[in-house]
């Protein structure tokens, strides 16, 4: 089991339309979602920058999520459980083609560990 790379970073936004226009202006390519979506992904080299809509009154107690690709999601999950780290979710296959689970670090930052289902 090895940590291989960062797959994506997800940032919260109060205004998806404005955020999508901003990143498109910088040259990011939308590959999923839109100005009207609640979740939008941009291609960034071999990784992704994601945006997730949050209600206007929401404070930034949750800043987003960092996603790390790993060689074996289930092995890392079992390791986390064995180390009493208390993952937020169990490993599952997602409709977007990854197996993943979430874990919150001691500072409250949400991190995900994932592997493409095709690999």
Q: Which of 97, 87, 91, 89 is nearest to 75 (CA)?
A: 91
Confidence check: pLDDT of 84 > 60? yes
Domain ranges of the chain: 3-116
Cα–Cα distance measured from residue 95 to residue 39, given in angstroms and rounded to the nearest whole number:
14
The larger pLDDT score, comparing residue 62 to residue 93, is at 93
Confidence check: pLDDT of 49 > 70? yes
Cα–Cα distance measured from residue 105 to residue 119, given in angstroms and rounded to the nearest whole number:
27
Cα–Cα distance measured from residue 68 to residue 9, given in angstroms and rounded to the nearest whole number:
9
Averaged pLDDT for residues 76-93? 93
Look at the pTM and tell me if it is higher than 0.85. no
The larger pLDDT score, comparing residue 59 to residue 111, is at 111
Tell me the CA end-to-end span of the chain in Å, nearest whole number.
15
Concatenating the DSSP letter of every residue in 44-101 gives ETTEEEEEEE--TT--TT--EEEEEEES-HHHHHHHHHHTT---SS--EE-TTSEEEE
* Confidence bin at 115 (pLDDT 50/70/90): very high
For the domain with range 3-116, which CATH number is right: 3.10.180.10, 3.40.50.300, 3.60.21.10, 3.30.9.90? 3.10.180.10
Confidence check: pLDDT of 119 > 60? no
pLDDT digits (tens, 9 = 90+) for 13-44: 888 998 998 889 878 899 999 999 999 999 98
Residue 91: per-residue pLDDT: 98
Cα–Cα distance measured from residue 13 to residue 28, given in angstroms and rounded to the nearest whole number:
16
Confidence check: pLDDT of 100 > 90? yes
């Amino acid at each position: 089991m090895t940590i291989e790379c960062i797959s994506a970073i997800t940032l919260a936004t109060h205004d998806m339309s404005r955020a999508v226009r901003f990143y498109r202006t910088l040259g990011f390519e939308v590959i999923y979602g839109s100005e009207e979506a609640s979740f939008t992904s941009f291609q960034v080299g071999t990784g992704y920058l994601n945006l997730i809509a949050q209600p206007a009154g929401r404070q930034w107690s949750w800043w987003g999520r960092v996603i790390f690709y790993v060689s074996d999601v289930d092995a890392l999950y079992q390791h986390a459980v064995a180390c009493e780290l208390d993952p937020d979710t169990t490993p599952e296959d997602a409709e977007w083609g990854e197996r993943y689970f979430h874990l919150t670090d001691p500072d409250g930052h949400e991190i995900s560990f994932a592997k493409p289902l095709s690999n």
